[in-house]
Structure 1
């Protein structure tokens, strides 16, 4: 597996992974068409620091980072459903930690038990829960933090 920085031409594959991964999250309402989602992901790839996991020349996952201060964010980490549980997510999270050594935060839905186990297994700590009023899906979510090289959560 290779980890590399995305370029502007990678957005269609990134969008396909995003759409496929979220399609399996049956608790999510479908708020946007695939065309709208593709435009959104195109902007993410253009404006964010996006890292890709590739296997045999195919993109199988991505992580979108925002290193801006005062707080850095991991906005998206998705792996193609056919490639999950084979190390791509762990490799992308390790890359996020390497690129954001001072720490970062991320949101995940409370219903996303797999993501919650994944992040907790990799040393992130829950810092806050909400009722979902602040996200467009209106679903309860959790803020996680990783406090950088010290290994402690924010």
Structure 2
């Protein structure tokens, strides 16, 4: 598996992976308004890491560097629990200049367990259009 920086030619494949992964991972939400265009809109001005192997896209992470904020980390459903998320998370954490932050939907138990396993701590709660979330942090 290779982790690398996003290139413009990745956009179409990652848009499909993003949509498919959200539908799979956030199954309790209404996905009828989600579209392929969401990837470009929701990762604008972010650093994006891409995980790939044998010319297959495995996942991506997008980071809003100004706030040390991991905005998205999605892994293709067929390769979850194979270390892809951990590699992407490690790459994102290396970019943080200080404490890193992320939001994890409270209903997303699999993601919550994943982040806690990687020593992220819940520091607050909040609410967004997708529901309640935990604000999590990890010291550099």
* Runs of 4+ residues deviating >4 angstroms: none
- For 2:28, the equivalent position in structure 1 comes to 27
- Per the alignment, residue 139 of structure 2 pairs with 147
Residue 101 of structure 1 deviates from its aligned partner by 4.4
2:55 corresponds in structure 1 to 57
- Is 2:118 the partner of 1:125? no
State the 1:141 CA deviation.
0.8
Q: Name the residue aligned to 2:76.
A: 80
Larger Rg: 1
Inter-CA distance 81–125: structure 2 relative to 1 (3 Å threshold): same
Other-structure match for 2:15? 15
The alpha carbon displacement at 1:143 in A equals 0.5
**Per-residue deviation, 1:40:** 2.7
Q: Normalized per residue, which structure has more strand?
A: 2
Check conservation: 1:22, 1:28, Cα contact below 8 A: no
Say yes or no: does 1:100 pair with 2:96: yes
Partner of 1:67: 65
> How far 1:109 sits from its partner (Å)?
0.6
Unaligned runs of 5+ in 2: none
Distance 2:43 2:108 in 1: 24
Is the 2:68–2:97 Cα contact (8 Å) retained in structure 1? no
CA RMSD of aligned residues (A): 1.5
Q: How many pairs align?
A: 139
- Counterpart of 1:140 in 2: which secondary structure? strand
Are the counterparts in 1 of residues 71 and 103 from structure 2 also a CA contact under 8 Å? yes
